Structure 1
Amino acid sequence: MPAVYPASPRQLRRVRSVSNHTKGLIMILVTGASGHVGANLIRALRAQGRPVRALVHRDRRALAGLDVEAVAADLADPSSLRAAFRGAEIVYHLASSISINLENWDELERVNVQGARNVVEACLQNGVRRLLYFGSIHAYDHAPFDQPMDEDRPLLISDRLPPYERSKALAELETRHSLDRGLDAVILIPTAIAGPFDFRPSYFGQALQLLARGRVPALVRGGYDWVDVRDVVDGAIAAERLAPRGARYILSGRWHSLRDVAQFVAQHTGRPAPRFAVPIWLAQLAQPIMAKLAQVNGSQPIYTRPMLNAMNSNRHISHARAARDLGYSPRLFQETIADTLKWFQENSKS
């Protein structure tokens, strides 16, 4: 693993323009570079000696100590994107507003849908050679649950859907439509992501830390398909080189129950996993109360209704196409959990 840099002001000043030894190489632009996937992607690209322009909004901790060109831009402002995209030949569009609630549609539409539309326009205007768009597995129809889910499942665009799912489906449609205008675009569809360099941290990263500290009294009898962020990055870089124009790839890992995840954490910490687990239907009944308590405490709810629905969804999400075309092979999730908890421990502020 590369060294990890705490986000001190002195180190943030070290984020600078790309070094002389990378000039003349293909410039890669990464939107959402300060997010979880972005933090891992820019490290992987720089480890290959490739020049990276990191498009960031506010939080730059993930860039501290890295030799990248940092550019501030707003996805909803086409004029700020024009300058940021100038000279870029490959674009990884990761930036996204993520919501686990049933609110925030205006923000999701502005960042996810309008942002994707503006990214497409900037790519076309600047002659970008390839756009790699990161979608969401939540934008796809998971039913029927007893059959393997693959890239041919339909997108969900009904206005009755949770706002995040709908926004990502509409954003992906913007990317698909760009193919008709001549853009070379590839769509990558990761499942639930975990792994190191989780600076903010992500919702799942927060949950792992609570489990590690023994602060989760009970689990829910559900699960999901989790994938290591480093495997997602490997799949994305392979898609940049190998994927045919217009291809879609699910980058999944393996399905694990929350009980499995808690046991993986316990194996690393030596602290017993929670003994009790409640059925999803009971968690759904209690969810409004939990949401109110979280609001009073000024914290995130332990779970939301969309999260509970996802945990009771398809257990057979196939990455066979990515394995065939890209050589994609995700690692065991036990390794991911151990590496993630180690990273949090080494980068704790306490």
Structure 2
Amino acid sequence: MKVAVTGAAGFLGTNLLHQLVERGHEVIAIDRLRPSGDTDPRVRWVNGDVLNPDSMRSALDGAEVVYHLVAVITLAHRNDLAWRVNTEGVRVVAEAAHAVGVRRMVHASSIHAFDQYTCGGRIDENGPRSTDPSLPVYDRSKYQGELELRKVVERGLDAVICNPTGVYGPIDNSASRINASLWDAARGRVPVMIGGGFDLVDVRDVAAGLILAGERGRTGENYLLPGAMVTMLELTRLAAEVNGKRGPRFAIPLPVVSAAMPVLEPIAKLFGSDKVSRAAMGALLSAPEVDGAKARTELGYAPRPTERTVRDLIAFYKGESPEPEALSIA
């Protein structure tokens, strides 16, 4: 089957391409960037702009299924490009898919499309959405992108929406925040960690979840794709242990971090960093439980243990690249 992937050169895209090729699909890889070196002959790379309708119709022509991964991830409160790409870009791709007769679209949204601050400590597919103007632009734009997609679904497009939690693991050529922190910890460079935790999911499990959603998901439905709740102290200590190093000695309690945020955030901005901000700390401060029962029941989704992901990630950074693997389908 011929399938298309937008954002194919990114972190999630790289892992999704591997799994699609392993399943025997012919893949149209759409991105404004292209990996250097040899690529699989079953993957045809196309330069595409998700804000350009003509570009998208040309890129998607002939595809049966399209996986839309393109997004601008930012911790800023306002970012015009992020808003356009994460909202208008979804609409443009959806309309192009509908116009050229794509059989199904799978949209990779985010857990951030759900309001983690007002969910009462637990999120499922019926939870409150990110509509509050005080939320970071990424949260608000991911939900608005879903609304733009639903408008096209109402006109006849068959589409499914997936909402992964915090994504980490191999293969990562983009130096994502979580992975970079774990690699630092694995080298003994993280003496102290911030308290709190979050639900983290292996990127390979997200890729497999997207494929399962394309095969089994119900039109117009959201599917949360969680992994496991883990504290950052536990996670960084595990990364250090795997590599034979000493991990963080302790974690700074979240109430202390929260109380100091009005002082720390402006200082961080002066040094050009967004790592200390409400957006960066929000997930850790709220730490909602994410219910993946719907994806498990309807799709056969079954993420792997945290320890396995961390071990594979450290092996990847050490040059022992683990082969990406698809989930077993129940």
TM-score between the two structures when normalised by the length of structure 2: 0.91
The answer on 1:231 being equivalent to 2:205 is yes
| Aligned counterparts of 2:38 and 2:84: Cα–Cα separation in 1 | 28
Q: Deviations over 1:42-66 (max 9, x none)?
A: 10010111100000112525x8432
Contact 1:149/1:314 (<8 A) preserved = no
| Distance change in 2, residues 1:201/1:322 (3 Å) | same
2:269 to 272, 291, 294: 291
| Aligned counterparts of 2:291 and 2:183: Cα–Cα separation in 1 | 29
Q: Secondary structure at the match of 1:201?
A: coil
Q: Secondary structure at the match of 1:188?
A: strand
Look up the match of 2:26.
Answer: 51
Question: Which range is displaced more, 155-164 or 107-116?
Answer: 155-164
Look up the match of 1:17.
Answer: none
Contact 2:168/2:179 (<8 A) preserved = yes
| Aligned counterparts of 2:35 and 2:49: Cα–Cα separation in 1 | 14
Look up the match of 1:212.
Answer: 186
Q: Secondary structure at the match of 1:183?
A: coil
| Distance change in 2, residues 1:33/1:88 (3 Å) | same
| Aligned counterparts of 2:292 and 2:134: Cα–Cα separation in 1 | 28
1:95 to 70, 83, 86: 70
2:247 to 267, 270, 273: 273
Partner AA of 2:243 in structure 1:
T
TM-score between the two structures when normalised by the length of structure 1: 0.86
The answer on 1:309 being equivalent to 2:282 is yes
Contact 1:146/1:314 (<8 A) preserved = no
Structure 2 gap segments, 5+ residues each: 322-330
Question: Which range is displaced more, 231-240 or 154-163?
Answer: 154-163
Contact 2:185/2:237 (<8 A) preserved = no
Q: Deviations over 1:176-211 (max 9, x none)?
A: 222211110000000000111111121212212221
Q: 1:316 offset after TM fit, Å?
A: 1.3
Identity of aligned residues (%): 37
1:335 to 308, 315, 326: 308
> Which 4+ residue blocks in structure 1 deviate beyond 4 angstroms?
143-147
Look up the match of 1:5.
Answer: none
The answer on 1:325 being equivalent to 2:288 is no
Look up the match of 1:3.
Answer: none
Partner AA of 1:319 in structure 2:
G
Contact 2:116/2:288 (<8 A) preserved = no
The answer on 1:30 being equivalent to 2:2 is no
Contact 1:101/1:305 (<8 A) preserved = no
Q: How many residues align?
A: 316
Output aligned runs, 1:93-132, within 5 Å: 93-103=68-78, 105-132=79-106
Q: Secondary structure at the match of 1:166?
A: helix
Contact 2:48/2:56 (<8 A) preserved = yes
Contact 1:27/1:87 (<8 A) preserved = yes
| Distance change in 2, residues 1:324/1:32 (3 Å) | same
| Aligned counterparts of 1:258 and 1:145: Cα–Cα separation in 2 | 21
